[in-house]
């Protein structure tokens, strides 16, 4: 997503400035071009040698360096995005007042690109009316200000003022500035993870599923501009982007009800969840004690969510299912396509040696009524990206 994006990073004098080493490395790994400006005060906290090594470019600080005038206007116009992190109280105040006594502020005043600030300071400084007034002025002028996180501060106190974790910063920028708009206006429903059917208060019947496939698809479609509703069973992972609407459920019945509310409104629905096919109709309210004899549990069928929504789909809606098969894989997948009235089934070839639970690389086929496309050795993120491209190529009007 950051590929070839021009990110200008302004670092100011704050203890958390050292975290920018990692920030630059992640941006570079994601394919961004990075230029760095430091304020004179920032030099007390970071090494310009390390910053220039990681960014693979000289670091700017003074208006004149080695008898050469540094062109802040040119640098400001170069950027696709100006990130000021950490943004200290002093720099925030200078930005508000246009006090261009250093290269960073002068560049800010000449920069037509969007600006995002990550303030970092002690909690009392952050909460002070002067800072809050300055922050609200910056926001009124169109700058994005991300609130600091809460936790232990360099002062030894606990409170608000920490720079967010690098991953959170990157995800925020991706979500708010790098997100594309090709699927803008499209509503997508995604199911993910397992469901859990309680036997008693401490025991459940479930399927093995990490949820990673569904989350990757939700994130991919979200980053292309879609409005995404992710209905997720219990999983250990989180969505990268807060803009994704996460609806957490436990049972198959809860997952069905959550999906059913979008029955008429979704454009594309992707069903990756490993939904339990059976549930316990008369679960015990109390923990079942171990008996001398065997225990019989009566199971009843759950609703097929994809099958139900697939059969009810409206002309503008497209539905994608997933199939995990061991025998007669393609035939079974084609049968599911027809039976569930899906437009596409993504078949995971489970019998292949490189394709089983918790494997990073999978062999999958995209099966529609017109064609079968086979892909070998794809990661879940690559499958998500291929599926997004399939939707755009075949169904986007």
- So which residues are the catalytic ones? 207
Between 38 and 345, CB nearer to ligand CTP? 345
Write down the least CB distance from residue 335 to ligand CTP, Å: 9
Is 60 near ligand CTP (CB under 6 A)?
Answer: no
**Which one of the spans 11-19, 159-167, 291-299, 321-329 is the region binding ligand CTP (CB under 6 A)?**
321-329
Q: Which stretch binds ligand CTP (CB under 6 A): 19-27, 160-168, 315-323, 376-384?
A: 315-323
| Torsion of Cα atoms, 326 then 330 then 335 then 340, to 10° | 80
Q: Please say which residue, 55 or 272, places its beta carbon nearer to ligand CTP.
A: 272
Please tell me whether residue 253 binds ligand CTP under the rule CB under 6 A.
Answer: no
Chain positions 174 to 193 lying near ligand CTP, rule: CB under 6 A, are 191
Q: How far is CA 41 from CA 13, 18, 160, 295, in A?
A: 5, 13, 22, 71
Q: Is residue 306 part of the contact set for ligand CTP (CB under 6 A)? A: yes
- HEC string of the chain? CCCCCEEEEEECCCHHHHHHHHHHHHHHHCCCEEEEEECHHHHHCCCHHHHHHHHCCCEECCCEECCEECCHHHHHHHCCEEEEEEECHHHHHHHHHCCCCCHHHHHHHCCCCCEEEEECCCHHHHHCHHHHHHHHHHHHCCCEECCCEEEECCCCCEEEEECCCHHHHHHHHHHHHHCCCCCCCCEEEEEECECEEEEECCEEEECCCCCHHHHHHHHHHHHCCCEEEEEECCCCCCCCCCCCEEEECCCHHHHHHHHHCCCCCCCEEEECCECCCEECCCCCCCCCCCCCCCCCCCCEECCCHHHHHHHCCCCCCEEEEEEEECCCHHHHHHHHHHHCCCCEEEEEECCCCCCCCCCCCEEEEEECCCCEEEEEEECHHHHHHHHHHHHHHHHCC
Q: Which one among 305, 319, 344, 384 touches ligand CTP, defined by CB under 6 A?
A: 305
Name the residue nearer to ligand CTP (CB basis): 159 or 307: 307
Return the residue of 24, 115, 169, 252 that touches ligand CTP, per CB under 6 A. 252
209-248 mask for ligand CTP (x: CB under 6 A)? Answer: ----------------------------------------
| Strand 344-349 with 362-367, pairing | antiparallel
* Residue of the chain from 15, 89, 224, 323 that contacts ligand CTP (CB under 6 A): 323
Site for ligand CTP in 273-292 (CB under 6 A): 273, 275, 277
* Residue 160: CB minimum distance to ligand CTP, A: 41
Q: How far is CA 269 from CA 38, 57, 180, 334, in A?
A: 47, 45, 20, 18
Q: Which is nearer to ligand CTP, 12 or 388 (CB)?
A: 388
Q: How far is the CB of 340 from ligand CTP (least distance, A)?
A: 6
Letter string b/e over residues 322-337, b meaning 16 or more CB atoms within 10 A of that residue's CB: bbbbeeebbebbbebb
How far apart are CB 256 and ligand CTP at their closest, in Å? Answer: 8
Q: Which is nearer to ligand CTP, 277 or 382 (CB)?
A: 277
**Interaction between residue 271 and ligand CTP (CB under 6 A):** yes
| Contacting ligand CTP within 19-48 (CB under 6 A) | none
Q: How many residues bind ligand CTP (CB under 6 A)?
A: 16
322 binds ligand CTP (CB under 6 A): yes
**38 or 323: CB nearest ligand CTP:** 323
Q: Which of 190, 324, 364, 387 binds ligand CTP (CB under 6 A)?
A: 324
Residue 95 binds ligand CTP, judged by CB under 6 A: no
- 117 vs 309, beta carbon nearer ligand CTP: 309
- Among the candidate windows 44-52, 106-114, 270-278, 368-376, which touches ligand CTP by CB under 6 A? 270-278
| Choice between 211 and 321, CB closer to ligand CTP | 321
CA distance 29 to 104: 25
Interacting residue ranges for ligand CTP, rule: CB under 6 A: 191, 252, 271-273, 275, 277, 302, 304-306, 321-324, 336
């Amino acid at each position: 997503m950051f590929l070839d994006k021009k990110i200008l990073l302004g670092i100011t004098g704050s203890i958390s400035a050292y975290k920018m080493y990692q920030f630059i490395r992640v941006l570079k790994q994601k394919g961004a071009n990075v230029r760095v400006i430091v304020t004179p005060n920032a030099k007390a906290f970071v090494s310009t040698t390390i910053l220039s090594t990681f960014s693979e470019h000289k670091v700017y600080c003074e208006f004149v360096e080695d008898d050469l005038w540094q062109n802040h206007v040119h640098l400001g116009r170069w950027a696709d995005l100006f990130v000021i992190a950490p943004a200290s109280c002093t720099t925030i105040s200078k930005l508000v007042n246009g006090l261009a006594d250093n290269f960073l502020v002068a560049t800010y005043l000449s920069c037509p690109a969007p600006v995002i600030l990550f303030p970092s300071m002690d909690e009392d400084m952050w909460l002070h009316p002067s800072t809050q007034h300055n922050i609200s002025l910056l926001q009124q002028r169109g700058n994005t200000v991300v609130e600091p996180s809460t936790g232990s501060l360099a002062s030894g106190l606990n409170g608000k003022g920490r720079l967010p974790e690098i991953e959170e910063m990157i995800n925020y920028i991706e979500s708010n500035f790098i997100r594309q708009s090709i699927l803008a206006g499209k509503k997508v429903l995604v199911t993910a993870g397992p469901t859990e059917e309680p036997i008693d208060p401490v025991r459940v019947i479930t399927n093995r599923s990490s949820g990673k496939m569904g989350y990757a698809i939700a994130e991919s479609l979200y980053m292309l501009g879609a409005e995404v509703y992710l209905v997720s069973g219990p999983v250990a992972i989180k969505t990268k982007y807060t803009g994704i609407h996460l609806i957490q459920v436990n049972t198959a019945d809860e997952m069905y009800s959550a999906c059913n509310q979008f029955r008429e409104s979704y454009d594309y629905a992707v069903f990756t969840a490993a939904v339990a096919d059976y549930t316990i109709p008369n679960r015990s309210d109390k923990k079942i004690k171990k008996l001398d004899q065997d225990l019989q549990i009566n199971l009843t069928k759950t609703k097929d969510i994809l099958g139900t929504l697939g059969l009810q789909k409206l002309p503008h809606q497209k539905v994608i299912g997933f199939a995990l098969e061991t025998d007669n894989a393609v035939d079974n997948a084609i049968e599911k396509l027809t039976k569930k009235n899906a437009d596409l089934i993504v078949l995971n070839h489970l019998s292949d040696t490189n394709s089983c639970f918790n494997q990073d690389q999978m062999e999958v086929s995209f099966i529609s009524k017109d064609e079968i496309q086979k892909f070998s050795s794809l990661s879940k993120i690559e499958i998500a990206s291929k599926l997004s491209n399939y939707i755009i190529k075949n169904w986007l009007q």
